[in-house]
Amino acid sequence: MTETLLSVRDLKVSYQVGKGSIDAVDGASFDVPRGSIVGLVGESGCGKTTVARALTRVIADNASITGGQILFDGQDIAALPEREMNALRWRDIAFIPQSAMNSLDPVYTVEYQLNEVLRRRGGLGRRQARARCEELFEMVGIEAGRLGDYPHQFSGGMRQRVAIALALALNPKLVIADEPVTALDVIVQRQILDQLRDLQSMLGISVILVTHDISVVAYVCDRTVVMYAGRIAEAGPMDAVLMEPSHPYTMGLRNAFPDLKGAASGVLTPIEGAPPNLAFPPPGCRFAPRCPFAVETCTTQQPALGMAAPDHRVSCHRADEAAKLRQEAARTETWLADV
């Protein structure tokens, strides 16, 4: 058994749009160690959901995985026949889709929906399924007496807990949660994240937590993968990436978000401009049009994902100047100039 549960290697995913295509994920590489929470973070449209869905191979009709490997427990699931892939879903890899709390079926009780997974996919008998439903509800902190309720009878936070219970139903090794706390207020966000963390450590599973909010990553994740415009900007241990970022985009993100832990956050400085249109990405570094530190090479050559430290990767031509750039990035004026 290796320490790495999931290893994504040079993953490419494209959407066919009319006669053209959008390379929404253009060579993503990152690892998910066993028993860890990995935050996949970046602005809206950078390809997080596309990566998350590619990992479960539940992708849009116009999407295709055009390259790379997804090594799960050593097996390349990007190349797995659909029937074998389907057998892995829920049992080994469970996916909590974006807005899962609104996607529970309103016409069925939550017990019915849990049973769909437990009985149909898991092959449990009626009594076993009932016991498991009660156990799952206890795990996510909802009274078993509410199993017969309909989704609309739960608050947003409780529906998200139900979605987590569904994902955990068949004891998966990996749970991928797409923006699980995005629509919730900060207090409920913390409760859900605390619970996700408790369950992750109790069950020893791995979690990929997809979020646009870097403070969510800071609050709960062990590792961080920062995406920008379909590529990985930086990846490594959470503290190293967020406290001492080596990529200017991560430096900028850090300035732009309040701290979920409630610590004094100072002035928030947004990164000016918008991510590129992925149908016509700029040559070279995709962050160059917004980067205050761009030099000529940045606009012509794509930076490789290199080593900032043994366990910390970064894709920036100026990565070896990171300490100096961090000091400049801490000043608001840096982000107002040049753009």
Ligand X SMILES: Nc1ncnc2c1ncn2[C@@H]1O[C@H](COP(=O)(O)OP(=O)(O)O)[C@@H](O)[C@H]1O
Where along the sequence are the contacts to Mg ion (CB under 5 A)?
49
Sheet holding 174-178: strands in order across? 93-96, 174-178, 206-211, 37-41, 223-228, 231-237, 312-314, 306-309
Closer CB to ligand SF4, 96 or 314, in the complex? 314
**Cβ 249 to ligand X shortest distance, Å:** 14
Tokens of 74: 């050593």
Report d(CA 39, CA 215) in Å as an integer.
Answer: 10
Binding site for ligand X (CB under 6 A): 15, 17, 22, 24, 42, 44-50, 60, 62, 278
Residue 339: partners with Cβ closer than 8 Å, 6 or more residues away: 272, 273, 290, 292
Question: Are residues 64 and 72 in contact, defined by beta-carbon separation less than 8 angstroms?
Answer: no
Task: Return the structure tokens found at 247.
Answer: 């990529």
- Smallest distance, Å, CB 286 to ligand SF4? 8
- Minimal distance in Å, beta carbon 48 to Mg ion? 5
Smallest gap from residue 98 Cβ to Mg ion (A): 5
Binding pattern to ligand SF4, positions 174-193, x when CB under 6 A?
A: --------------------
Q: Taking CB under 6 A as the rule, does residue 322 contact ligand SF4?
A: no
Contacting residues for 169 by C-beta, under 8 A, at least 6 apart: 90, 94, 114, 117, 118, 122, 132, 136
User: Could you tell me which stretch among 22-30, 144-152, 170-178, 288-296 binds ligand SF4 (CB under 6 A)?
Assistant: 288-296
Tell me which of ligand X, Mg ion, ligand SF4, none is bound by residue 62, counting a contact when its beta carbon lies within the kind-specific cut-off of 5 to 8 angstroms.
ligand X
- CA 153 remoteness from chain centre: 28
The one-letter amino acid code at 109 reads T
In angstroms, the CA 302 to CA 283 distance is: 7
**Is residue 287 part of the contact set for ligand SF4 (CB under 6 A)?**
yes
50 binds, among ligand X, ligand SF4, Mg ion, none (CB under 5 to 8 A by kind): ligand X
Binding site for ligand SF4 (CB under 6 A): 247-248, 285, 287-288, 291, 293-294, 298, 303, 316-318
